[in-house]
Chain A
Amino acid sequence: MKALQVIDQAFRTTTEEQDDAILWLTRSMRGAGGDLMVLLKGHAVHYAVLTGRQPPLTLGNWQQQQPAELHRDISGLVESGVAVYAVEEDLIERGLARLPLQGGVQAIPRTRIPALYEQADQVWHW
């Protein structure tokens, strides 16, 4: 069974969880043998172009030690054999189209999303 993970939100859990909850879930399921694809749309296309570690949060005398490394989470997925796609129009709308994509991430136009949905046995929209 091939499942497409559709992620359209970003930065919701990245500070508190020190990762994106769905990217993490996907990597974990991949580790358990999951046959998965990832579609980044909406604000989640940011994940396709980030290059560094998230800024650490400081509150009072509490200092974050391990901020999220979203760029590594994406590259880890790609290296594990998970196809990762990002919606072109969503990159363009957010002024991100001229930034280089993470290695292995494929930009696709919205018109190709139906084909991706057809390719998957199940579509899990988070």
Chain B
Amino acid sequence: MSTHKTLTFAFMDPPFESERTVTFFRLLDAALERGAHVRIFAYEGAVGLSFARQAAHGNAVHNRDLDSEKHPLTREWIASLQHKAAAKGLTFEWINCGLCVDERGVNEVIDGCGRGGPPDLWRYATEAFNTLTIGTR
């Protein structure tokens, strides 16, 4: 079902700390599946999701080295969704709250992720067909 409507999502959790992060990315993937343009406002810890310097590692407890562990990285999840959107002719925009980026020192982000602030969330929300916010705990 291709609708070309735009959906906005706001999220707060960093990588590796919460099941909410996985659900959030599943929702983004589902939104693209349903033919929606997607806009994300990453707030607080969520600005770490696009950090370019995330690095995979092996796991001795799993008895797997770097190559075989294939450790998930959220920056790769974002990149994968960017590619999926492009392949479907959809837009996938990601803005990190700039002050949140500064205080966490995660200024190096992957391509396609930008910097902004709360007015951008309001803009994203008012321009979108619908918005979902997922807070943290």
> Direct contact between A and B in the complex (CB less than 8 angstroms)?
yes
Whether a CB of chain A sits under 8 angstroms from the CB of B43 is: yes
Contact between A9 and B131 (Cβ–Cβ < 8 Å)? no
Among candidates A13, A21, A28, A125, residue contacting B133 with C-beta atoms closer than 8 Å:
A125
Residues of B within 8 A of A (CB): 10, 12, 43-44, 117-119, 121-123, 125-126, 130-131, 133, 135-137
Whether a CB of chain B sits under 8 angstroms from the CB of A22 is: yes
Q: Contacts A28-B118, A32-B118 given; indicate if A1 touches B126 (C-beta within 8 A).
A: yes
> In the complex, how many residue pairs between chain A and chain B have their CB atoms under 8 Å apart?
41
A21 CA / B42 CA spacing, docked (Å) = 13
Shortest CB-to-CB span from B97 to chain A, Å, is 8
Whether a CB of chain B sits under 8 angstroms from the CB of A25 is: yes
Whether a CB of chain B sits under 8 angstroms from the CB of A33 is: yes
Contacts of A33 in B (CB 8 A): 122
A59 CA / B3 CA spacing, docked (Å) = 54
How many chain A residues touch B (CB < 8 A): the figure is 18
Residues of A within 8 A of B (CB): 1, 3, 9, 12-13, 21-22, 25, 28-29, 31-34, 122, 124-126
Contact between A25 and B135 (Cβ–Cβ < 8 Å)? no
Majority-rule SS of A interface residues? mixed
Among candidates B119, B123, B133, residue contacting A126 with C-beta atoms closer than 8 Å:
B133
Shortest CB-to-CB span from B119 to chain A, Å, is 4
Contacts of B117 in A (CB 8 A): 28
Shortest CB-to-CB span from A27 to chain B, Å, is 8
Contacts of B121 in A (CB 8 A): 25, 29
